Amino acid sequence: MSKPLVIVESPTKQRLIQKFLGNDYVVEASVGHIRDIPEPKELPEEYKKGPYAEFGVDIEADFKPLYVVDPRKKAKIKELKDKLKSASALYLATDEDREGESISWHLVEELKPRVPVKRMVFHEITPEAIREALASPRAIDQDLVSAQETRRVIDRLFGFATSRVLWRKLRGARSAGRVQTPAVRLLVERERARMAFRASDWWSVEGIFGAQAGNIPASLVEVGGKRIASGRDFDETTGKLKAKDALLLDEAAAQALVSRLLPRPGRVDSVESKPWRESPRPPFTTSTIQQEANRKLRWGADRTMKVAQRLYESGWITYMRTDSFALSDQAINAARTLISSAYGPGYLPPAPRRYKSTAKNAQEAHEAIRPAGTQFRSIEEARRELDADGARLYELVWKRTVACQMADASGQGVAVRIAVDDARFVATGRTIEFPGYRRAYVEGSDDPEAELADQERILPPVKPGDTVAARELQARGHTTQPPARLTEATLIKELERLGIGRPSTYAEIIQKIIHHNYAFQRATALVPTHAAFLLTAFLESQLAELAAYDFTARLEEDLDQISLGKARRAAVLSAFYKGDRGLRVRLDASLASRDDGFYRLPLAGDSSARFHVRVGQYGAYVTDGNSGTANIPGDMAPDEVTETWAERALQAKADGPRSLGHGPGGKPVFLFNGRFGPYVQLGEAEGKEKPPRSSLPEGITLETITLDQALGLLALPRALGHGPGGQPVTANIGRFGQYVKMGDQSRTLAPGQGVLTVTLAEALALLAQSNGRVARRGKPEAMRELGADPQTGKPVKLMAGRFGPYVTDGETNATLPKGASPDGVTLEEAAALLARKREAGPSPKRGRFAKKPAAPSKKKAAGTRKKPPAATEAVP
């Protein structure tokens, strides 16, 4: 008997939904997108000449894209077609957003079903939600599909066309993107503000006054009728005092006030008390969950979205790609019931709270992120059943959802004004009389000082006229601080505020910015590189409209209009690319321009313009405009490249390499700071023969290296002695760092060990370990066993491979993400990596869409050849 076929994206969703539906349905997974627009280098041979050759899009045929099936998905498509032959109906259960709608459309185009096709949508994976979706299916929303295709084509045109201009005109910036470019500009503008910043010093006087019921901490705010200047009174770009009515204290003046006021009695001038009331924040959207996980968990956006995806697919939370604050009635009822039982009726507001989305068109899922179901599973249950990351993120979602339906917090704010002679001190207090929603959740802050000010501070009771004694007065020095760099959380907040991109794409955008060397991370801050400065300067100089924030925001509005059926894709694409002020016209004008002023990047601080920064093929360097150049270290922030630093770097380059002394044969030992880092060299180059060189390992710096250390490095490999069987044991520096070697086995040195100091006993101990960090040659070795894979039951091992650490269950291998430490990898993280690798399928040997050339047959030689596949029509 035939059964309906249900197709979802991921195997995780497949297993859970199959469990809910039982044997009456067949549930299969497409494993994501099945086809895409190939890059030009991956075009099938038949299309490498013609209208698709440049972008994979036929510009003159209403921007019709060429869709090609990913070779990794051909077996999956065949499997789905076989299942469809015996199906009574096809239910498409992909995610309810543009991407999900597009996957459903592509499945129909490829599978060509002859049975009824129904689109089922749901925001959570629970038995009730799945049954409801089956009972009320709809047709594929062609407007959503069209909007997704338009976005895909715009991104292809913008990225490829603009990047080609960059390749011809710039050396250090090679890629651009519709959302990536303005995001890079935001980072650059913040760094420019830091570079233009001028620090200022100011002093304050802090006191502790004794009252009958306790101590009152207070700050000096006024002397002789003049307000005391603080950090906000200074101009950030000049460092000068902006406020003319403020009194600026230096150290001498502050100390003099302490000496004068300390013996004098104080009097309470006034006590002001004001009630305050605070409402909870709305439930999470895609954007706010990324921001809050960055603040509270110190997670990047990419990690947050991957964990949220797992929680959704396993039925713990609702759909995680949403810009809506709305909660369903069942969610509100679940939250209110929980609040009443767990916190008491007093924490329940009289009526449910309803939140309005601030997005112009909440086109993604139409409910906020919340715990799934009509009864929220507890945090304790999550800790028992989920991995560590899943439990932590679920706890955030649970607390935020419950808190958003709780009563306001309230209390009293108190300001006490104290007079000492002609000086006035102010003490502020804050009491929480009813915690309300704060019992469940308090939002994190991007400003630590604001978070501190939000805490409860209780002052002892006093009244006007009371005498208080200055028990302690202290002069404190302060320096104004430059604007803080953007973190992932604050960058996402800015992108959302400006209407740039979609929250569901922010994680990918941030990863691209880092991958393309436009930024690097320093703690939680995103630091733009000089390549980012060059890209932004070029766009501002020659493609100002593309660099404008409202350019990308307007495109997002156009996509929203298409998704609502109020605009046509062909018209939007034509205006974007071929219009009078379209992309093609702007790029042609840029190619014709001879302006190259953007190459000269400024230094930080009040530079005399004697020096400037340029970005070359191998990185950034500082120059005096003549022959003098000096490399800028890759981990040096632009606001650290000052005129003083440039002067020293150029002088050091002009002075030549530093000599540490003499080595074998009386040859000098030189110390260089090269493009790839510092190194030592024995003697000078003679003809084509290169002199002996060695990089400086970790723990030895340009400033601390000695002649003995340099000679030791130049003599590598260092013989340590002999191991079992008389095999020689050596220490050396290789491509991946310091290591010891015996026969065909080698191990990376542990932290704290050095190639010049490691002993034979330490080396043998390392070599004896089967979980050594990196096997340099021979068969990869296991660093450690992590446990059984929850999906396959096979043992998962962390391996030391030739190209870095990876995890495996014996069949599937998954490389650790860039920057991930092998020491901290857990079974849950390894299982997630392996699951994603299985879903993606095996890696092709060549490009995703490239076909392996077959040997020519006699028939083909005689003129018989296969017809090329036709390009799939675009959505009307």
Give CA–CA dist 130/367, Å, rounded.
16
Yes or no: say if 369 and 326 are a contact pair by the CB < 8 Å rule: no
CA 776 vs CA 435, 601, 728, 772, 843: distances in Å: 59, 42, 16, 10, 24
Handedness of CA 284, 286, 287, 293 (dihedral sign): positive
SS (H, E, C) 295-321: HHCCCCHHHHHHHHHHHHHCCCECCCC
Q: Residue 429 CA to chain centroid, in angstroms?
A: 38
Give CA–CA dist 746/729, Å, rounded.
9
At 296, give phi and psi (nearest 5°). -90, -35
Has 91 been annotated as catalytic? no
- Where is 142: in which H helix or E strand? helix 142-169
Yes or no: say if 44 and 68 are a contact pair by the CB < 8 Å rule: yes
Nearest to 110, CA basis, from 869, 876, 757: 869
Nearest to 248, CA basis, from 232, 230, 236: 230
Give CA–CA dist 531/529, Å, rounded.
5
Yes or no: say if 739 and 747 are a contact pair by the CB < 8 Å rule: yes
Residue of 312, 319, 394, 577 marked catalytic: 319
Q: How many other CB atoms are there within 10 angstroms of residue 825's CB atom?
A: 19
Burial of 750 (0-12, 13-18, 19+ CB in 10 A): middle
At 106, give phi and psi (nearest 5°). -65, -35
How are beta strands 68-69 and 87-92 bridged, if at all? Answer: unpaired
Give CA–CA dist 223/249, Å, rounded.
10
Which residues, in sequence order, are bridge partners of residue 730?
719, 741
Contacts of 648 (CB under 8 A, 6+ apart): none
How are beta strands 677-682 and 668-674 bridged, if at all? Answer: antiparallel
The two structure tokens encoding residue 10? 């991921």
Place of tokens 């390749």: 167
Nearest to 183, CA basis, from 446, 482, 448, 515: 515
Q: Where are the beta strands (DSSP E) in 98-200?
A: 117-119
Contacts of 731 (CB under 8 A, 6+ apart): 716, 717, 718, 720, 738, 739, 740, 741, 749, 755, 756, 758, 763
Instruction: Report the catalytic residues.
Output: 319
